[in-house]
Structure 1
Amino acid sequence: MGHPSDCCGSYPHRRTRWGGAVMSSDSIINTAIAAPTRRRIPLNAKRLAVGAVVGASTLLVLGGTAIAQTVDALVEEPVADLETVAKTADHAIQSGNLLWIVIGAAMVIFMQAGFALVETGFCRAKHAAHVVSTNLAIFFLGFVGFFLVGWSFMFGGYSYVLPGFDYGLNQAAGGALIGSGDWVFLWQGGWAGTWFDGGNLAYSGAAAAFFLYMVAFMDTTATIPTGSMAERWKFKSFVIWGLFCGAIYYPLFGAWTWGGGWLAKLGNSLNWGNGYVDFAGSGVVHAAGGVAALAGAIVLGPRIGKFGKDGKPRALPGHHIPMALLGTFILLFGWFGFNAASTFASSDPQIGVVAVNTALAGAFGGFISMLWIWKRTGKPDPAMMANGMLAGLVIITAPCAFVDPWVAALLGLFAGVVVIEAVFFIERKMKIDDPVGAIAVHGVCGTLGVIAVGLLANGKYGVDAGGAGIGWNGTTTSLTDGVADGVTGLFYGGNGAGQLMAQLAGVVVLWTLILGVAFAFFKIQNALTKGGIRSDEAEEIAGLDMAEMGVFAYPEFSGTHEGLVSSDA
C-alpha cells in the first residue's frame, strides 16, 4: 500500500473518523501513545526488556552514564514503536474508508443495470432495444461530461459536506480543479489535465475515489428521464442530454449543495439549521432527475394512442414484467451502496442504521403499495408494487442517517401510497405520459425525502465529535443541555424551523430553477433539431428498435410487433 497521503491528500488538518467520532490524524496517534497499556507490547519492546534484565549487572559497573543511556533507550524506543503502530492503523483506516467508497461506487454503477431492466420491462417490445440502449449509453455519456466539465463545476470552489472531510477538495484543491480560473478543465492545469501528469492537489487517491462515487450518482440523475421519455425520444437528442447532464445539469444543483455552495451555507448565513442537508441524494440525485423527467415528458408529449379522443388515458402495457421486477431487486441491492457508502467511512457505525433504514423504507413502501393498489383496482399490480418499493427507497435516501428505524418504516408507508396517487394524478389530471412512473417515484418522493430531513431528523448524527465545534456543512454546532446537536428536524426541537426552512429552500430551487433549466434545455434542443427531438410518427408506430438502432430486441418475434400498437395508433 502507498503512503497515507496518497489516500487522503497531504493536508495538515486532514481529519478522519475513528469509531464514529471525528478525530484528526494527530489525535489518533496521541491516543495510541497516551494509552500503551491497552495495546500489546511490540516485539522490539519485548526484546528490549529482556536486554535490560541481562544488562542490569553491567550497568552497576559502568556507572551513571551508562544507566542514563539505557533508561533513555527504554523510554524512547517503545514510544517510537507506538507511533509507528498508530500511523499504520491510521493508514489502514483511511485505506478501508477509500475501499468502502469504491465498493459503494461500483454498487451504484451496477444500479444502471437495474434501471435498464425496469424501464425496458415496462416498455413495449418494439422499443426494447432502444430503451435498454439509452440506459447503457447514459453511463458513458454522463461520465465523459462529468469528467471533462462537471466535476470541476460541482467542486471547483471547495467542498465541505461531512464534518472533517474534504477529500482533497478544499479551497486550494478547488483552484487546482478549476485550472487557471477560466473554464479550461482539460488544458492549462485543469482537473482532467492534471490526471495525465499528477501535477497538483487534484491528483490524489482520495479525490479519485470521491470522483468515482459522484459520477455514479450523476448517472442515476441522468438516466431517470430515459424512463419518462421512453418510446418516443430520438436517440441523437438523447445523446446530447447525456453529455449536458454530466457537464452542466447535475453539477449545477450539486455545486449549491454537496459542493459547499449557498444552499449548504444557509446554516451559517441565515442560521437555518445545518443548511440544506441531503445525506445520499433524495433531492440532489432523485428529485433533480425527476424534474428533468417531467420537463422532458412535457416537451415530447404523450405516446401515440396513450390518450383517447375523450382525453382518458389508455393502458399501453409493458412487455416483460419479470424483467422489470428483477431490475427492481437489482436497484434494491445497489441502494445499499447508494445510501450506506455515503458515510464515506467504513469505520462509521452509522452504516448499520443507514442500511436498516434503507431496507425498512423499501420493504414498507412495497408492502403498502401492494395493499393500496389491490384495494383501488382489485388486483395487486406488480408494476405498482415495484414502484412502491422504489418510492420507499427514494424517500429515505436523504434522511436515512438522521431518523430512527420506526420513522423509516413510516416514511416507506407514506411513499408507497403517495407514489400510486401521484402516478394517477400525473396521468389522469395533468395528461402527462410517463411509461415507467419516473416522475412520481423520483420527483415527488425525492422531494418528500428532502422535506423529511427538516421534520424528522433526530439530532443524533452529524455532530463534530472532534471538539472543533464544526458540524454538517461546516455549520457551527449548537448545544442542548451542554451536548452538541446533530442535524435536527422541527419535530425534534432543532433551532425552531431552521432546518425545515433550509430544506424547503432546496425544494423551491429544484422545482423552479432546476426544472426551468431542464425545460429550457429540451425546448431549445427541440427548436434547434431538425424535426424536433421526438421520433417520427411512422417510426414510433413501427417501433424504434429497427428505425433508430437497426436491430430488433426480439428478432424471432419481429413480425408480431405491429400487434402491440393501440388500435387508435
Structure 2
Amino acid sequence: MIVFLMQCGFAFLEAGAVRSKNTTNILLKNLLDSSVAGLSYWALGYAFAFGDGTGFIGGSGFFGTFPEADLSKWFFQMVFAATAATIVSGGVAERCEFVAYLTYSIVLTAFCYPVITRWAWHSNVSDGHPSNVGWLIDGVSVIPGAAYHDFAGSGVVHVCGGVAALCGAVLLGPRIGKYDSQGRAVAIPGHSVPLAALGGFILMFGFFAFNGGSQFSISNEGDGVVVARAVVNTIISGSAAGVTTILLHRMFSATKRNCIRHSTWSLLSTINGVLGGMVAICAGANMMHMWGAFITGFISALVYYFGSMLVERIGIDDPLDAVAVHGLCGTWGLVAAPLFIIDGILLSGSRKSAEVLAMNLIGWLAIVIWTAAICLPMFGLLKLCKMLRVEEDIEMKGLDIPKHAEPAYPSEAWGDGWGEFLKATSTGLVTGSSSEATSSSGDKTPQELSYVHHGNGAFQMEVETK
C-alpha cells in the first residue's frame, strides 16, 4: 500500500516541476499510470513475468488466471511496473501527446518491464524444470554459479524507466525555449516548489517500503533483519546523497552579480539527490553494511549532479532529471551492490563476487538493449504518425485548457469579485497600474483569456482559443 503511495509522490513532484499551464495534464498522466498498469499487468504483465514458460518469458496466468496465493505478489509487482512507467513521464513532460503517453504506458507495463522482471526475479521452478527460471538467476545464468544481484530494482525498475525516458526525450526533442540560438540551455522553472517538495518527501517515505518490502516476507527466520537492514541502508544512502548534492550545488552554481560571486542552496537539486541515492541503494540494500550504503549514496550524488549537467549539455531536455536520477544512479547501484555487499569484492575479494559484478553488468546491458529496442521504434513510429508531440501553439499556451478544458488554477477560483475586475480590465474601465498592465487584452472576454505562468514569477494573459 505504501509503495502505491509513491504514485502520489511522483504526481506532486512532477506537478511542481512543470509550469502551471501543464499541471492538470501531468497529474492526469500520473493517475492513468496506475490505472493502465493495473489493467495491463492483470491482462498480460504478470503472466509474462511469473507465469510458466522459459527463462526469457512466461506464458501462463493471463487475465488473472494465476493462483490466489499470488495475489499479494501481483499487487506489489504491479506497483513496481507503474513506477517504471511513471519515471518516463518526467522526461517527456510538457510536450508529449496524450495518446502517445497512453501507448508507451501500456507497452511498458504489459510487456517491456515484465520481461525484464522475468529475467532477474523469477526463481520459482515449475515441476522441477530449471528452464522456467529467469536467465539471470543463479544456476542458469551465463556465468555458472553467479547470479544477477538487484534486490529492489536499481536496474529492473529504474534503469528500465530511465532508458525509456531517454528514448522519449530524444525523439520528442527539447521544449520550446529550452535552448537559445547559440544552443545554450535556458532554465525553465516549475511553478510550485512546495508541491515538488511534498512529492519528494512522499517518494522518500515510499522508498522505505519499496526497498524493505522487496524481501516479500516478514515471517521467516532472518526476514526481519533483512527488512530492517534494507530500510536503514535506504535512509543512509539517501541522506549521504542529499547532503553531498546540496554541497555540490553550492560549489558549482556560483553566478556573478555586480562582480560578486553568489552561490545558492538548492532545494530541488537536493530532493533529486536524495532520490538518486535511494535509487542506487535498491540493488544492494539487503546485504550492505551501513558504511557501504554511505559510500553508495555519496557517489550517487556525483553521478546525479554531473550526469544531469551532461544530459542537458548534449541537448536532451529532461524536465525532471529522470535519466540522471533513475537511469544513471540505477546503473551505479548495479555496480555498487557487488562492491559493497557483505560477501562483495571489497570485503571478500573472491572470484564469485567478481562474477556477480560481471553478471550485473551483463544484466544492465540486457536491460538497456531490451528497453531501447522496444521504446525507440515505438516512439519513432508515433513521431512518424505525428502522434508524439503536441502542436507548437498548444505547447506555448499549455496543455491544460486545449487538451483537458480543466486549468489547474482557473481565474474564476481566485476569489469573489475577480470576474467583474477582469471584465473591467478587458474594456479598459479600470484606471491606474492595473489598467496599464492589462490594457493589451482589448475587447476579449474573461472566458477568452488564459493566465499562463511562464516560470519567471509573472502571469501573462494569452488567448485561449484560436
* Shift in CA distance, 525/114, structure 1 to aligned 2, threshold 3 Å: same
CA deviation after TM superposition for structure 1 residue 159, in Å = 10
1:131 corresponding residue in structure 2: 26
From 234, 243, 250, give the equivalent of 1:358.
Answer: 234
Q: Is the 8 A contact 1:340 1:354 kept in 2?
A: yes
What does residue range 100-499 of structure 1 map to in structure 2 within 5 Å?
106-157=1-52, 178-179=59-60, 190-192=61-63, 194=65, 202-205=66-69, 207-260=70-123, 261-265=133-137, 267-271=139-143, 274-347=146-219, 348=223, 349-377=225-253, 378-428=263-313, 430-459=314-343, 488-489=344-345, 492-496=348-352, 497-499=354-356
1:543 corresponding residue in structure 2: 398
Identity of aligned residues (%): 33
* Shift in CA distance, 502/138, structure 1 to aligned 2, threshold 3 Å: same
Question: How far, CA to CA, are the matches of 2:6 and 2:54 in structure 1?
Answer: 26
The residue type paired with residue 252 of structure 1 is V
2:417 corresponding residue in structure 1: none
CA deviation after TM superposition for structure 1 residue 320, in Å = 0.5
Q: Is the 8 A contact 1:427 1:434 kept in 2?
A: yes
* Shift in CA distance, 491/503, structure 1 to aligned 2, threshold 3 Å: farther
The residue type paired with residue 244 of structure 2 is I
The residue type paired with residue 246 of structure 2 is M
CA deviations 1:319-371 (Å, max 9, x no partner) are 10111111111001111110111111213121111110001011111111011
The residue type paired with residue 115 of structure 1 is F
CA deviation after TM superposition for structure 1 residue 235, in Å = 0.8
Question: How far, CA to CA, are the matches of 1:282 and 1:508 in structure 2?
Answer: 13
The 3-state SS of whatever aligns with 1:178 is coil
CA deviation after TM superposition for structure 1 residue 270, in Å = 4.2
Q: Is the 8 A contact 2:138 2:146 kept in 1?
A: yes
The residue type paired with residue 391 of structure 2 is D
CA deviation after TM superposition for structure 1 residue 458, in Å = 1.3
- Does residue 367 of structure 2 align to residue 510 of structure 1? yes
Question: How far, CA to CA, are the matches of 2:64 and 2:238 in structure 1?
Answer: 42
Question: How far, CA to CA, are the matches of 2:340 and 2:144 in structure 1?
Answer: 15
Question: How far, CA to CA, are the matches of 2:138 and 2:94 in structure 1?
Answer: 41
The residue type paired with residue 493 of structure 1 is G
Question: How far, CA to CA, are the matches of 1:110 and 1:526 in structure 2?
Answer: 33
CA deviation after TM superposition for structure 1 residue 157, in Å = 2.9
CA deviations 1:195-244 (Å, max 9, x no partner) are xxxxxxx2223x00100010010000010110010000111111111211
Question: How far, CA to CA, are the matches of 1:312 and 1:522 in structure 2?
Answer: 26
Q: Is the 8 A contact 1:143 1:215 kept in 2?
A: yes
Question: How far, CA to CA, are the matches of 1:317 and 1:365 in structure 2?
Answer: 23
Q: Which runs of 5+ in 1 are unaligned?
A: 1-105, 161-173, 180-189, 195-201, 460-487
Instruction: Report which of the two structures shows the higher radius of gyration computed on alpha carbons.
Output: 1
* Shift in CA distance, 359/238, structure 1 to aligned 2, threshold 3 Å: same
Please identify, of 443-452 and 273-282, the stretch whose mean Cα deviation from structure 2 is larger.
273-282
Question: How far, CA to CA, are the matches of 1:506 and 1:525 in structure 2?
Answer: 28
Question: How far, CA to CA, are the matches of 1:535 and 1:333 in structure 2?
Answer: 34
Question: How far, CA to CA, are the matches of 1:521 and 1:336 in structure 2?
Answer: 33
CA deviation after TM superposition for structure 1 residue 133, in Å = 0.9
Please identify, of 213-222 and 344-353, the stretch whose mean Cα deviation from structure 2 is larger.
344-353
TM-score (norm 2): 0.81
TM-score (norm 1): 0.67
Please identify, of 320-329 and 517-526, the stretch whose mean Cα deviation from structure 2 is larger.
517-526
The 3-state SS of whatever aligns with 2:351 is coil
Question: How far, CA to CA, are the matches of 1:230 and 1:142 in structure 2?
Answer: 19
1:101 corresponding residue in structure 2: none
CA deviation after TM superposition for structure 1 residue 417, in Å = 2.0
The residue type paired with residue 551 of structure 1 is E
Question: How far, CA to CA, are the matches of 1:506 and 1:326 in structure 2?
Answer: 34
2:127 corresponding residue in structure 1: none
Question: How far, CA to CA, are the matches of 1:193 and 1:324 in structure 2?
Answer: 36
The residue type paired with residue 299 of structure 1 is L
Aligned residue pairs: how many?
399
The residue type paired with residue 230 of structure 1 is A
Q: Is the 8 A contact 2:43 2:64 kept in 1?
A: no
